[in-house]
Structure 1
């Protein structure tokens, strides 16, 4: 089976203190409202994708780390990317906020929608919890969008940057799946969105929260995924 690479945050043991409790609380509320319709994702597997590294091509175990460290031959510069993020996030880590976004326009949108609506949403059968960088006054920013744009200099293009005007300021966590049906008809999403607008969790996106991971299953289960901190790529 093909193995590819991706850059993720908050995977497995790299979650900051308190994030697991916050996510777990949302999962429990979904179970309370939906019962067996909702299947929580195991907490170690919950992660945020910063940017996909699939353009690097397939990697082969057990030499995956060696391959990813090497640059040239038209492949993205993963080592340079990691060095850039280690410095940039180390000096000015974005403050990522989950929840706390009121149901009004805030200057930053997500797929053209208010952050309140996008805080908890679905994509196919996935249930997704989202957060965004905020400034010192708590206003959302597009800092993560700017970082993703900067990574183009290392030969990596974000999958949502298909056009020059495309924007993606989101940091999203797939926290579970629904077995069947449309959650919008249950009222569960809106009920929890309202609760989350009053329940905030904020954490800095520090270099040690990031991992370069290789996978053959896009869910990134611990049993089949390998992950390395940025420091393993620094020259």
Structure 2
């Protein structure tokens, strides 16, 4: 990371203040880099290197921006930088090189059609962006759920844990939002469980104004 002095920038943000911002948000930058690398399905042997690379580029670009202008919503801005850096890394790693199909005489096969070849390859950037969209939707949902009244909150959390493909990942996402959901489970008594489930329909309708809840 660059060493910053105590002089003032042209917009009045002291370089010492920028240094403090970088230090204060460093764990957040690392978390975003780690999440981005995991969602990009990076090979295990280069996982740490990719996390460090995305985190470092995010720090550098944040530092460059803060020298020029003030940023009102730092978390949102940092998240956008990390997202863009992850996309850049994926594009560098997956430059599309499609081998030409050849026949026994090492000639290009007559069956070769560039369109069908391209369509058969899943674009890793598209896959990553889909995962990012799901992650953002999850963050928004969690932010809404933790503001619900206790009983509605309990019902939604139990339902999400029941239906989520990766409950451990869901628990980590809630933990990042300051909510420990490990102890949230449907009541052992069937009557109480049915009563709690009955509140789900109303709760989902309440949240549907923000987005469709599956």
TM-score by length of 2: 0.23
TM-score by length of 1: 0.22
Higher normalized contact order (CA 8 Å, seq sep 6+, divided by chain length): 1
Larger-gyration structure (1/2): 2
